[in-house]
Structure 1
Amino acid sequence: MRRLRIAYRMAALIVWLILCVGAFYIAAPFTRRNPVPPRFLAGVATIAGVRVRRIGSISAPRAVLLANHLSWLDIPLLAGTTGSVFVAHDGLAGNRALKWLCDMNDTVFIARSRRSTVAHQVDQVREALDAARVLTVFPEGTTNDGTALLPIKSALLSALDTTDAGTAIHPVALSYGDATQEIAWVGNEPGATNFFNVLGRGKPIDATVTILPALTGEALNGRKAIAEATRDALTKAMAGW
């Protein structure tokens, strides 16, 4: 049955991809922010067996979401529920097929290890916010197993130091309920193995996207303050699971 589920879901994903790619190019000349990629990603989560619940709301027309990171499913969940684009490590751009899909959703690729690129990163973040209005950063820099947060890397937040006052910064807590430890992508597990483990599950995955209150006051005084406030908010949210 597991193999049948994987085969069925893979076939559904391929058909869904073909339909959405066609729709993307049809819509492209008529819109600045193409509406197809978030809908495609939401469909990916549904085909993978995810049932999504969203708690909370974004408090401004433009927002940066700072989310804990557990799985590749985080991206379909957040895109589907918020319409977000994402910040990704520029190493991912080396995979042509993956970069092609990421570019469709206006992904911002950054060189995290080179401080000389910060000014360019600021411009990229502003352009992404202008186009999509919502952008997600995973400030841990990698996935974790869901039991605790990894250290928040404040360097990843350097571009947020100069976001304007009209941009809300929201910590976002992601949970997959009882399935969290099983679907978390950690350690040396190959990406393909994790992908097929998710597709082969028989039980639905109950996911929750909790948009926590926007940071205010001293929590916005630079990247280190943002990192500390985000860690505190996410830790408290995770303690209630």
Structure 2
Amino acid sequence: MGSRSTARTERFAAAEGAPPPVSLLGRMRIGLRLAMMLACTLVCVPLHCVWRLFRLPSPWPRWCLGICARICGARVKRVGTPVKRGAFHVSNHVSWIDILAIAGASGSAFIAKAEIRDAPVIGWLATLNRTIFISRENRLHVADQIEQVRDAFADNWAVTVFPEGTTTDGVSLLPFKSPLLKVLETPPPGILVQPILLVYDTQGRDLAWIGDESGKDNVIRVLASAGSFVMRVVFLDPFDPRGFSGRKAIAAEARRRIGDAFEARMGETMPDFIGHDWWAGRTDDPARHAQPSRRGEGCSAPH
């Protein structure tokens, strides 16, 4: 990954919308990783189609996305047991790599922001695993999006949502306020909510998609990065949404459990996200460049 100071400098530059130039070695890494992901999909997609042709449960999207996460540098450690059918997974959100890692660990389908669909390579990979893409600006289609989620439950899928609505820096949380949690106000029969905590090590957090960095630039930065990073996908105990008075209470309970789990694993409170404006440099805070070291940067790896 290079030195910590260099990685931090590159992260701030990327967050300000001015990603550093990619070295020749970085371009070679991008080419190699893209070739490896292409080879993986060329094997998995035809096999997936054969499985679908015979109406068999297909493991190939899960395997393909999990392998692609590893190709991107993620060393995913699954902690806990995912509820694989009839589960509404609620997760914190750090990067587009979250989708690859959670899919590889559980086979879950996804609800993701529309920008993911437009990301090169990654957007197409996400469609393999039945991702439901939503636009936060298109509020007129919320009802249609909720109906897509209900259809997924009717097919016994597990579905993962990122209710923060955007990515953060990996050591903090935003309020959980996704309107798609409305599908749980009259929960489909047998549906459980399972919170997921994503914990990246220091190297992984340097690759977080924050500030003014575009999806394309973040993909390039991740694929050009040397080495690997550890991320843990922690499946927490599920709970019955019928015991809560509406989506806001369900969201608050999921957020509380994720925050408590982070504190238990890392030994520090998971604070509110300082904001994309701060990371993009649209602030007069003189302590800006020192701030992350006081917010979890010292933890080189999760337990």
TM-score category of the 2 structures, normalised to the smaller one: 0.7 to 0.9
Residue 82 of structure 1 corresponds to 106
Matched letter for residue 129 of structure 1: F
1:227 aligns with 2:239: no
Cα distance in structure 2, aligned partners of 1:187 and 1:205 = 21
Q: Secondary structure at the match of 1:183?
A: coil
Of 201, 205, 224, 1:177 maps to 201
Residue 39 of structure 1 corresponds to 63
Shift of 1:181: 2.4
Cα distance in structure 2, aligned partners of 1:96 and 1:3 = 15
Per the alignment, do residues 218 and 34 of structure 1 end up closer, same or farther by CA in structure 2, a change over 3 Å counting?
Answer: closer
1:168 aligns with 2:192: yes
Q: In terms of Rg, which structure is larger?
A: 2
- Which is further off, 78-87 or 121-130? 121-130
Shift of 1:130: 3.5
1:50-88 Cα offsets, whole Å, 9 max, x none, are 211111113574211000000111001000001000012
Cα distance in structure 1, aligned partners of 2:157 and 2:81 = 14
Q: Secondary structure at the match of 1:57?
A: coil
Residue 129 of structure 1 corresponds to 153
Shift of 1:142: 0.8
1:108-136 Cα offsets, whole Å, 9 max, x none, are 23454566645433431122133352110
Of 139, 152, 157, 2:176 maps to 152
Q: Secondary structure at the match of 1:19?
A: helix
Per the alignment, do residues 32 and 100 of structure 1 end up closer, same or farther by CA in structure 2, a change over 3 Å counting?
Answer: farther
Shift of 1:33: 5.0
Per the alignment, do residues 30 and 45 of structure 1 end up closer, same or farther by CA in structure 2, a change over 3 Å counting?
Answer: same
**Structure 1 unmatched ranges of 5 or more:** none
Shift of 1:220: 2.9
Cα distance in structure 2, aligned partners of 1:235 and 1:125 = 26
Percent identical? 36
Residue 11 of structure 1 corresponds to 35
Is the CA contact (8 Å cut-off) linking 2:120 and 2:216 kept in structure 1?
no
TM-score, with structure 2 as normaliser: 0.70
1:147-197 Cα offsets, whole Å, 9 max, x none, are 210121142311122222411101100011122321110111122222122
Q: Number of matched residues? A: 241
Cα distance in structure 2, aligned partners of 1:71 and 1:92 = 10
Per the alignment, do residues 226 and 60 of structure 1 end up closer, same or farther by CA in structure 2, a change over 3 Å counting?
Answer: same
Shift of 1:2: 3.2
Is the CA contact (8 Å cut-off) linking 1:170 and 1:211 kept in structure 2?
yes
**Structure 2 unmatched ranges of 5 or more:** 1-24, 267-303
Is the CA contact (8 Å cut-off) linking 1:85 and 1:132 kept in structure 2?
no
Structure with the larger helix share: 1
TM-score, with structure 1 as normaliser: 0.87
1:188 aligns with 2:212: yes
